[in-house]
Structure 1
């Protein structure tokens, strides 16, 4: 049996499910969460002392707190946390209501913060631990029309994860921001919400939405089982990286964004750096 104890949210489908199955196959102890406990048990298909399925609503701090407490009570510790629960939301920013955007942030951002807050007292005490915060390549480059809300949640995750990594360094706790490209999961059919009130003028947004739902869906190049293996290997490294881009497409998009930023900086460098107060 491997030593590290994992806590994985959003584990009943997609990358979370692939990771939980891979971890159990390799002998790790795993607490896995989903809002639907029976769906989670059926999806994982394992009945073992090494597997603790939990019904957790990440939007509810008390629910998260109970899930963390139950994991500590069952396994004695939590060594690796995977903040994977989240969903996509399409629609132009003009189309999306305040309620729709706030719901997106409630799960994708505040749900992650709930887990971090409830786990950290235990990790600080043991002076070790590792967070995998599952963002997206859309949290690094935002040029996806119609995904502004989702992208904003993932940019937020990138930002607070970088700050979190700096805050936790004195305690021996590490953070990895995982930015996957397109992986062949149920994300584009089971986890993609659309706006309640569409505006006819946004033809480009509808085209991008249709491409994702019809053309990309179930044709994504990435293998979630291979992604899970990468994360497990990184968790065993002595100095795991802060930024983890998953997939060849994620690397291509990240490199294009970096090049674009460098070009923009160079274009106005002389002008933009001549802003110090003249003494």
Structure 2
């Protein structure tokens, strides 16, 4: 297994990102890690070295991302694997979340990764190799979580552009994988990480119950280990023909199967109605 690939990991100062960075360094990979605070990266993973490059980067700033990518190429000579991990959770129904709150979530979770892709793609095209991981969520495959509609929609967006990216970059031997993690024991649901609506509406009982369950019961009791998720990403990065879709966690797999069953039932129940829209040849004028 190659131990010299250069990884570029965003959102690397905590959670899955930090677990991945530490695992990569322990296994001999070279790593550029980004966060809004370079001090937190240095504290957690060490100073600049031949193997590690901590970078302060705001994913919502296209110029800032461009500079970070350029610094990584200057430092290591290439970028082989990208992990678009930076993002945050947002709780609130579609009615109660403000335009500003929604746009903030999309700016970080959707437009941030797109900024990264825009600036790493030329390097990967020219070297005719690479792998881009976009960290979505099982909520990016199944959106039936009341109060998480906007967050889920940002993760659905990641899945959509990842599928297109896989096709667009195929001719350059560059792979794209969208990752759907289930519940991992990180600080993702902790105060200071997840954001909630500034103007909640009491009428939305199911959303309030879902919010309470996630912030009070699920947080700290997640069933999946981020260390094992990091190992899984490394394993997939070394595969010759990696899958475009990667579900991480038994819970993610179960929810995916439930969604697939739901779609199959919906297709079957309205199949004749769906086909009824076809233009019949002898009815053409």
TM-score by length of 1: 0.98
Distance 2:106 2:232 in 1: 27
Q: Is 1:275 aligned with 2:277?
A: yes
Distance 1:11 1:172 in 2: 26
Residue in 2 aligned with 1:153? 154
Distance 1:200 1:136 in 2: 27
Residue in 1 aligned with 2:140? 139
In the TM superposition, what are the counterparts of 1:1-279 in structure 2 within 5 Å? 2-45=3-46, 48-189=49-190, 190-279=192-281
**Structure 1: gaps (5+ residues):** none
Distance 1:49 1:150 in 2: 37
Q: Deviations over 1:193-223 (max 9, x none)?
A: 0001111111211111011001000100000
Distance 2:273 2:100 in 1: 41
TM-score by length of 2: 0.96
1:45, CA displacement in angstroms? Answer: 3.9
- SS at the partner of 2:189? helix
Runs of 4+ in 1 over 3 A off after TM superposition: 45-48
Which one is further off, 71-80 or 196-205? 196-205
1:48, CA displacement in angstroms? Answer: 3.5
**Structure 2: gaps (5+ residues):** none
- SS at the partner of 2:13? coil
- SS at the partner of 1:176? strand
- SS at the partner of 2:179? strand
- How many residues align? The count is 279
